């Protein structure tokens, strides 16, 4: 990776310098010949981020990063590219990482837009929890001061049709699968569990994904209806190997196929904004495949209000699981070698199924969670304070995140904050918190 990343970075920097000083003056290069006009823009940032002080790692992530974003528009054609290069410590290992955040081109017409390439698309109108957003995968183990940094692009063909000024229809075709990044292997430091490589769906047309959304944007309401069919970036785990001597368990990350019918809305009512979002997810073979969750209905209802210059968002997040059945914990029926072997094998199966249910929030037939976010700016928006917390009533898990951003100048910002997850023993938040809890500091210079 190091041999590849450095030449690409050198080439990118050389390309910028080739356009001359004017790019750095206004970040725009334009040429006009009659009606033929091209606009080339560069932007980006350089930043340092340190995230750590957790139970497992003193330095969970600590790195320097360079981002270069280029965009070109000519007539109705355009292209966008966002490249990231970072070097530092990630979970105890020093790495040089090259990431193509986005890279796509397209056409913007009067009533039709076309996009092709690596893109980040986010659906939904609620904050933090979007059950209708099944398109964009996330790297949940890339820690910075900005949660949006975790979003990953998908290669896709996207079309947007605008039959009316306030109404559009978006069509998306994703030919191959890209999963989210979960490092559950990091949670198993004191257990004899290993995780195999993810089982990717084969590169065939019927293994891709399709999505469509009809979206309305009026002054009195915003709303949409959506449909997704394909493999969910949020995958489960199957038990592939279990042994007694030596004791060991092997899991295999395995994607599952699903259909999702979703809807969302946002309605301003005087000084309030009422938001809602819901998604019905339909799966098959969930009774035979432990990595496939039951069909469920996930929903979010929230309100947003500003008072005393504080923007507050309060949400209720719920889930109802269809065809739910309690798991029965195995019982040791004897002390013979065969009975003990059978009991150990059944316990491994039981714990694995419970593990998947915790991941999908299907431990109970209904799941209830509350979320609150507070945001306020001080000193003419030079200082911004964000506080957010969530409490899962069903599982008794807690999440808290706080951040202070100080804009030193228009181009320089310093960030400091923390993120903590707590929960009962064997809960996901309890296991994840040992790795993911910590404080962060960052300094970013944009151009």
Contacts of 259 (CB under 8 A, 6+ apart): 227, 228, 229, 281, 282
Residues in the chain: 447
As to burial, measured by CB atoms within 10 angstroms (0-12 exposed, 13-18 middle, 19+ buried), residue 435 is buried
Count of C-beta atoms within a 10 Å radius of residue 137: 21
- Tell me, what's the pLDDT at 17? 38
CA distance 122 to 279: 15
Count of C-beta atoms within a 10 Å radius of residue 19: 12
- Tell me, what's the pLDDT at 32? 45
- Tell me, what's the pLDDT at 274? 97
Which of 281, 275, 182, 185 is CA-nearest to residue 233?
182
CA distance 392 to 44: 38
Residues of the chain with pLDDT under 70: 1-36, 188-191
CA distance 271 to 310: 13
CA Rg value for the chain: 24
Domain residue spans of the chain: 1-93, 109-446
CA distance 156 to 306: 38
- Tell me, what's the pLDDT at 36? 66
∠ CA 282-148-42, rounded to 5°: 125
- Tell me, what's the pLDDT at 34? 45
Contact 312, 305 (CB under 8 A): yes
Count of C-beta atoms within a 10 Å radius of residue 62: 19
- Tell me, what's the pLDDT at 251? 87
Residue-wise pLDDT tens digits, 179-205: 999 887 787 656 677 888 888 888 887
CATH number corresponding to 109-446: 2.40.160
Three-state SS string over the chain comes to CHHHHHHHHHHHHHHHHHCCCHHHHHCEEEEEECCEEEEEEEEEEEEEEEEECCCCCCEEEEEEEEEEEEEEEECCEEEEEEEEEEEEEECCEEEEEEEEEEEEEEEECCCEEEEEEEECCCCCCCCCCCCCCCCCCEECCCCCCCHHHHECCEEEEEEEEEEECCEEEEEEEECCCCCCECCHHHHCCCCCEEECCCCCCCCCHHHCEEEEEEEEECCCCEEEEEEEEEECCCCEEEEEEEECCCCEEEEEEECCEEEEEEEEEEEEECCEEEEEEEEEEEECCCCCCCCCCCCEEEEEEEEEEEECCEEEEEEEEEEEECCCCCCCCCCCCCCCHHHHHHHHHHHHHHHHHHHHHHHCCCCCCEEEEEEEEEEEEECCCCEEEEEEEEEECCCCEEEEEEEEEEECCCCEEEEEEEEEEECCCCCHHHHHHHHHCEEEEEEEEEC
Tokens of 9: 């970075």
As to burial, measured by CB atoms within 10 angstroms (0-12 exposed, 13-18 middle, 19+ buried), residue 220 is exposed
């Amino acid at each position: 990776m190091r041999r590849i990343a450095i030449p690409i970075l050198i080439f990118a920097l050389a390309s910028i310098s080739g356009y001359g000083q004017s790019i750095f003056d206004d970040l725009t290069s334009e040429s006009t010949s009659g009606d033929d006009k091209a606009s080339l823009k560069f932007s980006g940032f350089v930043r340092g981020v340190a995230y750590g002080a957790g139970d497992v790692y003193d330095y969970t992530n600590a790195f320097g990063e360079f981002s270069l974003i280029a965009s070109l528009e000519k007539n109705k054609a355009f292209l966008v590219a966002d490249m990231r290069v970072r070097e530092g410590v990630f979970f105890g290992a020093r790495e040089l990482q090259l990431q193509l955040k986005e890279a796509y081109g397209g056409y913007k017409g009067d009533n039709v837009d076309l996009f092709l390439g690596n893109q980040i698309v986010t659906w939904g109108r609620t904050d933090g929890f979007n059950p209708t957003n099944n398109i964009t995968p996330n790297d949940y183990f890339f820690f910075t001061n900005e949660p949006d940094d975790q979003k990953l692009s998908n290669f896709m063909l996207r079309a947007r049709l605008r039959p009316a000024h306030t109404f559009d229809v978006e069509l998306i075709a994703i030919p191959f699968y890209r999963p989210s990044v979960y490092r559950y292997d990091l949670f198993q430091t004191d257990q004899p569990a290993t995780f195999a490589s993810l089982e990717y769906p084969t590169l065939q047309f019927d293994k891709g994904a399709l999505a469509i959304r009809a979206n309305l944007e009026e002054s009195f309401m915003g709303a949409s209806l959506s449909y997704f069919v394909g493999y969910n970036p949020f995958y489960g785990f199957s038990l592939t190997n279990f042994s007694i001597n030596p004791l060991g368990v092997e899991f295999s990350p395995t994607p599952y196929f699903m259909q999702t019918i979703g809807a969302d809305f946002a309605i301003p009512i005087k000084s309030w904004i009422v938001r809602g979002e819901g998604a019905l997810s339909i799966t098959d073979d969930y009774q035979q495949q432990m990595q496939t969750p039951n069909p469920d209905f996930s929903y979010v209802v929230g309100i947003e209000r500003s008072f005393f210059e504080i923007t507050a968002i309060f949400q209720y997040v719920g889930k109802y699981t269809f065809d739910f059945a309690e798991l029965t914990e195995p019982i040791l029926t004897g002390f013979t070698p065969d009975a003990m072997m059978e009991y150990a094998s059944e316990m491994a199966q039981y714990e694995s199924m419970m593990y998947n249910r915790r991941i999908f929030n299907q431990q109970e037939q209904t799941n209830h969670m509350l979320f609150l976010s507070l945001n306020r700016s001080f000193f003419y928006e030079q200082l911004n304070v964000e506080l957010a917390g969530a409490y899962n009533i069903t599982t008794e898990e807690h999440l808290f995140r706080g951040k202070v951003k100080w804009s030193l100048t228009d181009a320089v910002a310093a960030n400091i904050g923390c993120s903590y997850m707590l929960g009962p023993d064997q809960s996901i938040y309890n296991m994840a918190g040992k790795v993911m809890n910590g404080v962060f500091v960052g300094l970013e210079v944009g151009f």
